[in-house]
Amino acid sequence: MAAPVVDVKTVKKLLEEGLSNLGFEVHTLKVGWYNTVLPAKLHLPYQDDCLAVVVLSTPTMFEQAFLPFMEERRCQGLSDPIDQCVKHCVTSAVSQFTGQQVDVRYDYELLPSRKPKFLAQTAAHVSGAAFYYQQSDVSDHPWVDKKMFGVCVHPKFGGWFAIRALLVFQDIHMDPEEQQPQPVDCVPNREARIQLLEDFNLRWQDWNYRNIITPTQTYSQKQKDYFATPPAKREDLLRSWGLLPESENTPSPSSGEHAQGQIDTSRNEDGHYFPLDQS
């Protein structure tokens, strides 16, 4: 029997079937769309028309994927529980594509140079998933001598989401005529963009930047409590929820793994992106 034909539509359909009910979104892009806006040293080493897929977590991921993952006692070792959950979900979805070469890059993975394996916010922008607002998007900006790092805004969830992975299907090519989608510019005026970037850079802990638009859904209170807890104390919180056995005494991930503004990680408490994701 001949192997089933795997094309772009099939890939997206199967990934959505495997991930949507767990609180993830998938958005397709051409590798060339990503490479075009970046310097050569940051390019993905694939043909421009290769299919890539960016995976986002939405507000429902915590309840639909993470808490069940913890309840089933699948969390192992020292790495971050959220990262383990995302990897478990993505690996399961990708396992459907037997015989396909798929390069899976997670947002927390670093190259030997300590650079991220992919620029998450750039990937989200060129796929049309979320608009990546940067200092250059503010005309006559007020920050003369200050670098303001950019942030993605989702058209439905505002800042209440995170970019988790990039999948490159090395043997699947998109239609040469496929047009690049434009992300929704949901923060169109200068004053709101200034507020967004200042809230994100200067007051990220209060999470107000996430509400720059009126989101259709935000994190639940339980999810907010988790991400507001310092990483070193999250193990105790999970134990108090009954999601880790009382006898377990495994060290928590280091606070640097998700710390705001860390040069090595470029992630904050739930996966929003910082200095390294500047092109």
Sign of the C-alpha dihedral, residues 75, 97, 99, 27?
negative
Tell me the DSSP string of 49-100: TEEEEEEEE-TTHIIIIIHHHHHTT---SSS-HHHHHHHHHHHHHHTT-TT-
What percent of the chain is helix, strand and coil (3-state, nearest 5)? 35, 15, 45
Q: What is the DSSP letter of 149?
A: -
Percentage of the chain surpassing pLDDT 70? 86
Kindly report, residue by residue over 200-259, the tens digit of the pLDDT: 999 999 999 999 999 999 999 999 999 999 999 999 999 999 998 876 454 444 433 333
φ and ψ at 55, to 5 degrees? Answer: -110, 125
Which pTM does this prediction carry?
0.89
Closest Cα to residue 108, out of 260, 269, 257? 257
φ and ψ at 79, to 5 degrees? Answer: -75, 160
Contact 53, 90 (CB under 8 A): no
- Nearest-5° angle of CA 49, CA 151, CA 191? 125
Beta strands in the chain (DSSP E): 24-30, 50-57, 102-106, 131-133, 151-153, 162-173
Kindly report, residue by residue over 89-131, the tens digit of the pLDDT: 999 999 999 999 999 999 999 999 898 999 999 999 999 999 9
φ and ψ at 197, to 5 degrees? Answer: -70, -35
Kindly report, residue by residue over 184-195, the tens digit of the pLDDT: 999 999 999 999
Radius of gyration of the chain (CA): 19
Q: What is the pLDDT of residue 4?
A: 61
Question: What mean pLDDT do residues 155-184 have?
Answer: 97
Residue 3 CB contacts under 8 Å (≥ 6 apart), including other chains: 99
Q: What is the pLDDT of residue 76?
A: 81
> How would you label 4-20 residue by residue, b for 16+ Cβ within 10 Å and e otherwise?
eebebeebeebbeebbe
Contact 36, 109 (CB under 8 A): no
Q: Report d(CA 199, CA 208) in Å as an integer.
A: 6
Q: What are the CA-CA distances from residue 128 to residues 7, 87, 164, 234 (Å)?
A: 20, 23, 16, 33
Closest Cα to residue 197, out of 147, 157, 162, 161? 147
Q: Report d(CA 258, CA 246) in Å as an integer.
A: 25
